[in-house]
Chain A
Amino acid sequence: MRARLFDRGRFSEPALLVLISLADGPKHGYAVMEDVARIAAVRLGTGTLYGALARLECHGLIEATAGDERRRPYRLTDTGVEALRVHLSELRDLANAGLRRLEAVA
């Protein structure tokens, strides 16, 4: 299922996109959806979005902040910040390794 948090030990794409979206400050569900569409050109369905939010919250990577129940903002926890940092660094290393190989071929 796409909303699964860990996929082969890594974040599922929706969960990762949600974390990235919250990296510059708290956002409510709809704002996350809009932000993800803008930065990643990915349209998250409502079910997928809330599957990811519920899992991330359950794992303590994000937390709901006080606010209107209908537009409740979420923010990264310290654990969430750290998990995202580690994951993105790994992705960067992988991307760099791939790009270096391409350059070597060219």
Chain B
Amino acid sequence: MKWLVRLYPARWRRRYGAEFETVLASQAPSLWQILDVLRGALDAHLHPDLGNTSQHTFERLDAPGQWVLTLAQEEARHLGHSYLGTEHVLLGLARAEAGPAPRVLRDLGVSSDAVRARIEAILGPGAPGRRGGRCRHERIGDARRLTPRTKRAFQRAGEEADRLHHARISDAHLLLGIIEEGESVGARVLREMDVGDAATLRQRVLDALNAPPAQ
């Protein structure tokens, strides 16, 4: 019955194909199962957003980078935002504690509470009109839509890693990516917190990357 999975759209198969096959293989073949899968495949074609993930974008994150992303998702959820923005990633960085970027933020007095307060001042409590709605978005893990600027910030983080000949993207590259994406809410929060201009901040992050941790 494994051929049945081929009835699903390619994007859906990339996300669910492997586990779907496992479950299908555990079932006794029957007309009922086949009809059920036919209906499921039709449904998946009619709703192309299902299984739309951008996991590959994040495959390069190392463990600290992933931790930042996890915290960012959590912050977005707590703030009631249905998307993932650079502001959430910045919050994740401020909360992460360990690592060069969190160290730089801490030294500059950029606490997670302060960042959260600035985000709410900029966006207003309860968030912009991007809440809820249909799930037409790229998803990761607990899955929030990435704003275009966040995508670009991640792209820039990747370019920073390339430039530094680092195989993986870590917290420091993420912070550099946010700083460079000057129009992003994350960059705006940093500007408003009076932590120096972008070039100075960038240099601080690069210095922290090269300096071994204090302990």
Contact = CB atoms under 8 A, between A and B. Distances in A.
Interface of A: 1-3, 28-30, 33, 45-51, 53-55, 57-60, 63-64, 69-72, 77-79
Interface string B27-46: 10000110111111101100
Given A45-B33, A46-B33, A51-B44, A63 B143 contact: yes
Chain B interface residue number, banded: 20 to 34
* Secondary structure of the B contact surface, majority rule: helix
B32 A57 contact: no
B23 A49 contact: yes
A16 B143 CA distance: 20
Nearest to A2: B39
Contacts of B160: none
Contact of A69 (B19, B23, B50, B82): B19
B142 A77 contact: yes
B12 to A, nearest CB: 7
Contacts, number: 90
B147 to A, nearest CB: 16
B28 to A, nearest CB: 11
A54 B37 contact: no
A24 to B, nearest CB: 19
B19 A51 contact: no
A81 B8 CA distance: 29
| 10 closest cross-chain pairs (CB), A and B | A47-B40, A45-B36, A58-B135, A47-B37, A63-B142, A54-B50, A47-B36, A69-B18, A70-B22, A29-B23
B40 A48 contact: yes
A58 B143 CA distance: 7
A60 B22 contact: no
A53 B22 CA distance: 15
